């Protein structure tokens, strides 16, 4: 139906009016694709025409080095480039046209958490949630009607469309009965 404050998508279901957080819906879609359930679109790397150097703190650089398998699993092809810098040669295909440097930095920062459980799986899950959040449509971003429809179609095909990767609600439903009651009908 439309957008509210360029933050929420307003839609109608057979029995309710829906308010959908466009950021959280986008997070779910990206996380779903990153987990490989839609590998045809997201599982690939996109080589950069010109590699990009990203300077990190020593701690973040160590995090990238110790989590190279996580970065590779997401589609980043990186190599050390000096003391605490990394050269990004390829990015996850879903980041094309987005701020991949911000996503890379965010992942490096998140993976410095020393309380993370050991093993690839928990780190990869954190990386997927972080990458999806950083690359998702933002609150305040104007979407065309076609973009909203596409996002909602992808959301309905994703796992757990009611909660974002951080466990926050995505959809608020206002049942028709509630609307009628509030308007004293």
Q: Kindly list the structural domains of the chain, giving each domain's residue range(s) and its CATH number in brackets, ordered by start.
A: 2-181 (3.30.1370.100)
Return the structure tokens found at 13.
Answer: 């279901």
> How is residue 163 annotated by DSSP?
B
Of 178 and 168, the structure prediction assigns the larger pLDDT to 178
- Whether residue 18 contacts residue 11, with contact meaning beta carbons closer than 8 Å, is answered with yes
> How is residue 34 annotated by DSSP?
I
Nearest C-alpha neighbor of 123 from the set 173, 38, 66 = 66
Looking at residue 16, what is its pLDDT? 93
Can you tell me the mean pLDDT for 14-37?
A: 88
Go through the chain and tell me how many residues it has: 185
Which of 59-73, 101-115, 128-142, 152-166 comes out lowest in average pLDDT? 152-166
Looking at residue 37, what is its pLDDT? 45
- Give yes or no for residue 171 having a pLDDT over 60: yes
Rounded Cα–Cα distance for residues 168 and 164 (Å): 5
At 101, the pLDDT band (50, 70, 90 cuts) reads very high
Which of 19-28, 101-110, 156-165 comes out lowest in average pLDDT? 156-165
- Give yes or no for residue 47 having a pLDDT over 80: yes
Can you tell me the mean pLDDT for 78-97?
A: 91
**Mean pLDDT computed over every residue of the chain:** 88
CA 178, 138, 25, 147 torsion-angle sign: positive
Can you tell me the mean pLDDT for 75-94?
A: 92
């Amino acid at each position: 139906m439309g957008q509210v404050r360029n933050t929420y998508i307003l839609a109608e279901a057979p029995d309710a009016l829906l308010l959908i957080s466009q950021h959280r819906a986008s997070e779910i879609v990206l996380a779903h694709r990153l987990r490989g359930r839609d590998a045809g679109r997201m599982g690939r790397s996109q080589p950069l025409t010109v590699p990009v150097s990203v300077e990190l703190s020593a701690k973040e650089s160590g995090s990238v080095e110790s989590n190279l398998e996580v970065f590779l699993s997401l589609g980043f092809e990186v190599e050390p480039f000096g003391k605490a810098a990394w050269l990004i040669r390829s990015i996850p295909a879903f980041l094309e046209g987005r701020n991949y440097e911000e996503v890379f930095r965010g992942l490096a920062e998140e993976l410095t958490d020393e309380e993370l459980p050991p093993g690839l799986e928990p780190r990869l899950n954190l990386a997927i949630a972080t990458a999806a959040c950083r690359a998702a449509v933002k609150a305040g971003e104007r979407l065309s009607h076609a973009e909203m429809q596409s996002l909602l179609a992808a959301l309905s095909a994703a796992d757990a469309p009611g909660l974002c990767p951080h466990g926050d609600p995505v959809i608020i439903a206002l049942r028709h009965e509630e609307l009628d009651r509030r308007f004293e009908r």
